[in-house]
Amino acid sequence: MSQNPFLISAEQLAAEIGHPGLSIVDASWYLPAQKRFGHAEYLVGHIPGAVFFDQDAVVDPTFDLPHTLPSAERFAEAAGALGLSETDTIVVYDGMGLFSAPRVWWMLRTFGAKDVRILDGGYPAWIAESRPVETGEPDVTPAEFHAVFDADAVASLDEMRAIVDSGSRQIADARPAARFSAEAPEPRPGVRGGHMPGARSLPASDLSDGGRLKSPEELKRLFEEAGVDLDAPVVTSCGSGVTAATINFALASLHKSDVKLYDGSWTEWGSRPDTPVEGGPASRRT
């Protein structure tokens, strides 16, 4: 565990609960097909002291895309209302082990938090060790979160167009392989199947085992098999910017820093008539 500064075990977290400067965040979010509801499950049970981060609400309301990053001011307001400070040690977890927590880990770091960890194995690991839980809404003492936006962590649509045209960055796509190849439909209406030209398929689910991030050796093998060079710049993408962050988390765990996340992801790219798409019968370049 000590080899990865971004992970913390249930045992380690249990020993730190109640200490000043520690904040715990339940970042559970699910796809509609999973028929699970993060906030409802949070109310039934969560790690003592944890607050719930609503990934559908902490967004930029001026965009019609899901999960678009909010402004620094909006993020600071939301994080502060949850009692979070950028100077805290913030531990993030989710209800599947390693699914949606990396997105909030990435968001917090993108807005200036310095010490953000993910609970190894997530809430399932906490429960498996018979550790205590709380129910209902917590009493939260608001804090000040001084947000400083790291623009280098994010890729825009215009930047993605340039990357696709020039090949200046490798594109790692975290969606399931069948969606990448257009063999399975996209879950959002009006979004084409397939992938960006030159993109590599690396499903986020392949990076974990039993809700835990795979070993560095296994991760390196997966990146190599996907055709991703760890010595070259990378930009990640997925359906709406959530599971792409799992690739960012895995790369950070391998000490790679030259990585961006395409915030609009495939929902933005695949819904436009003027963006090139490869894969399956929907492939076309305009």
Task: Quote the CA–CA distance of 247 and 256 in Å, as a whole number.
Answer: 11
Q: How far apart are CA 146 and CA 109, in angstroms?
A: 12
- Rounded to the nearest angstrom, the gap between the alpha carbon of residue 132 and the centroid of all alpha carbons in its chain is 26
Place of tokens 């990934």: 55
For the chain, give the number of residues.
286
The 10 Å Cβ neighbour count of residue 257 is: 9
SS3 label, residue 259: strand
Q: What is the dihedral of CA 73, 78, 79, 83, to 10 degrees?
A: 130
Of the candidates 13, 228, 238, 261, the residue annotated as catalytic is 238
Residue in 67, 68, 122 with CA at minimum distance from that of residue 98:
122
Residue whose tokens read 């020993």: 15
Active site residue 98: no
Residues recognised as catalytic: 238
